[in-house]
């Protein structure tokens, strides 16, 4: 079911329910008022009869009938029965009146506690009256024709009003749903116009404060992420094709030249050696891309790992690669309340790889020493900071530094394929940490990694 139809249905049911409850309340109030008014009228009739007749110390049937004929306030279908001492029937307004129900309720009548009951269309009230120490019980019955006709008219009025209001409620619900969904329809039409070639388009956020604006803002944020992902993919494909095409073209050219011009074994070996080196670069690049793709499994096994040991292994490996670089390690803040220092939950091999990538970049682009600091940012966060004095990076380069195969800096002769930092970032995020790079051209770069300490 469409949301529009759901809104109309729910709005109609809600308003009709409220209206029916209000109608039932009105009808119940009028019915109760009618009943109470008629009971009071019967009680007044019974009291008047008792005062006029019982006080004469004798009940004269002829007098009662004469009074009954002359009483302008006679109730339609009026019936009066009077019981005297010993609960004996003393008088009835007609000889054929049934006293069955009167006899049943006679014992329930107490002083100042009248009873009332119905016998078909008749409504009856029973009163206790005392004269000269003698008890009397008076029953007055009658038909409230006028009151019931008024209730019948009220029922018809409420029925017609509810039917007419139902039509108006449906129309109002349709208008309400249509007006409420117009902003959503506008957002839908704007989103439908956004295609892969128009990812820069954005949805109008309207007034910027209501829920529709929040929905549009969420769409815009999602579109921004999708656009960035597309740009990253395009950049990755461009860089990957370039990185792969260069060694492939070199291998092909070397082999074609060797096939056409190499005439002795020495020249052939030299060509084969050159082609082998290019193929090794291809293998290294392919392995790097495969490793980058594998570092996405959030379900990897996490064990208690000593981060200082991982850093020590990374420094040793980097020192082997760059024997002329001086790597200076120092410790930062060490909180006294931590028992097992530098413990994290994670994968030791991946953490070592991430730290080695940071150290490798620092040594690759720095001719002087590299400083490595290991410490605690707080009792729950371990921090590793790698600082070099290399060529540095521009701000626009820092924005793209985590794109695979993107290489920042002007020194493009340095070995590498732009895979280390993206892989490091994935590893750090996989371990619940974060990485931040700050750099200044000509002064160097600082990479800071923060990881949650093990409890």
Predicted local confidence at residue 69, as pLDDT: 46
Looking at CATH, the fold of the domain delimited by 3-149 is given as: Beta-Lactamase (3.30.450)
Domain limits, the chain: 3-149, 220-294, 303-452
What's the pLDDT tens digit per position in 175-216? 888 877 777 777 778 777 777 677 777 777 777 677 778 888
Q: What is the pLDDT of residue 20?
A: 92
Mean pLDDT value of segment 357-365: 85
Instruction: Report whether pLDDT(161) > 80.
Output: yes
Query: What is the 3-state composition of the chain as percent helix, strand, coil, each rounded to the nearest 5?
Result: 55, 20, 25
**pLDDT at residue 58 in the model:** 53
Class of domain 303-452: alpha beta
Torsions phi, psi for 69 (to 5 deg): -70, -35
Report which of residues 102 and 51 the model is more confident about. Answer: 102
Secondary-structure class of domain 220-294 per CATH: mainly alpha
pLDDT for 13 beyond 60: yes
Reference 146, options 154, 157, 158; nearest CA is: 154
Distances (CA, A) of 150 to 62, 153, 231: 35, 5, 78
pLDDT for res 70: 46
d(CA 387, CA 395): 17
pLDDT score of 72: 43
20-73, pLDDT tens digit by residue?
A: 999 999 999 999 998 899 888 888 888 887 777 665 555 555 555 555 544 545
Confidence (pLDDT) at 451: 93
- Range list of H helices, 54-83: 61-70
For 215-264, write each residue's pLDDT tens digit.
888 888 888 777 777 776 676 666 666 667 767 887 888 888 887 877 78
Give the pTM: 0.48
Judge contact between 215 and 204, C-beta under 8 A. Answer: no
Residues in Cβ contact with 197 at an 8 Å cutoff, skipping those fewer than 6 apart: none
The backbone torsions φ and ψ at residue 327, rounded to the nearest 5 degrees and listed phi first, read: -100, 115
């Amino acid at each position: 079911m469409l949301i529009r139809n759901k809104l109309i249905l729910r709005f109609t049911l809600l308003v009709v329910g409220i209206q029916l409850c209000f109608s039932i309340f009105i009808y119940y109030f009028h019915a109760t008022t009618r009943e109470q008014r008629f009971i009071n009228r019967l009680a007044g009739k019974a009291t008047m009869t008792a005062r006029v007749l019982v006080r004469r110390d004798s009940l004269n049937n002829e007098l009662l009938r004469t009074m009954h004929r002359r009483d302008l306030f006679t109730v339609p279908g009026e019936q009066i029965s009077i019981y005297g001492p010993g609960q004996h029937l003393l008088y009835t307004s007609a000889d054929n009146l049934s006293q069955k129900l009167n006899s049943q309720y006679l014992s329930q009548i107490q002083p100042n506690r009248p009873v009332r009951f119905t016998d078909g269309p008749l409504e009856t009230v029973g009163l206790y009256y005392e004269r000269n120490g003698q008890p009397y019980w008076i029953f007055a019955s009658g038909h409230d024709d006028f009151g019931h006709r008024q209730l019948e008219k009220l029922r018809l009025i409420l029925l017609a009003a509810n039917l007419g209001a139902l039509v108006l409620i449906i129309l109002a619900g349709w208008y309400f749903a249509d007006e409420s969904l117009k902003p959503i329809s506008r957002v839908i039409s704007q989103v439908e116009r956004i295609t892969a070639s128009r990812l820069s388009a954005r949805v109008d956020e309207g007034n910027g404060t209501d829920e529709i604006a929040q929905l549009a803002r969420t769409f815009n944020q999602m579109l921004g992420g999708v656009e960035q992902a597309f740009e990253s993919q395009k950049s990755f494909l461009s860089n990957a094709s370039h990185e792969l095409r260069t060694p492939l073209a070199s291998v092909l050219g070397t082999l074609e030249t060797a096939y056409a011009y190499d005439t002795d074994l020495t020249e052939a070996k030299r060509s084969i050696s050159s082609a082998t080196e290019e193929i090794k670069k291809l293998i290294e690049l392919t392995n790097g891309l495969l490793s980058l793709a594998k570092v996405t499994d959030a379900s990897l096994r996490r064990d208690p790992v000593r981060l200082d040991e991982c850093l020590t292994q990374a420094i040793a490996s980097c020192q082997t690669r760059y024997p002329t670089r001086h790597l200076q390690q120092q410790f930062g803040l060490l909180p006294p309340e931590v028992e097992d220092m530098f413990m994290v939950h994670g994968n030791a091999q991946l953490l070592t790889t991430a730290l080695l990538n940071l150290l490798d970049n620092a040594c690759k682009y720095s001719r002087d020493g590299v400083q490595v600091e290991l410490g605690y940012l707080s009792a729950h966060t371990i921090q590793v900071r790698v600082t070099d004095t290399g060529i540095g990076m521009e701000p626009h380069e820092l924005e793209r530094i985590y794109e695979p195969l993107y290489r920042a800096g002007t020194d493009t002769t340095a070995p590498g394929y732009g895979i280390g930092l993206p892989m490091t970032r994935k590893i750090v995020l996989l371990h619940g940490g974060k990485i931040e790079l700050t750099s200044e051209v000509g002064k160097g770069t600082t990479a800071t990694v923060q990881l949650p300490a093990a409890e």
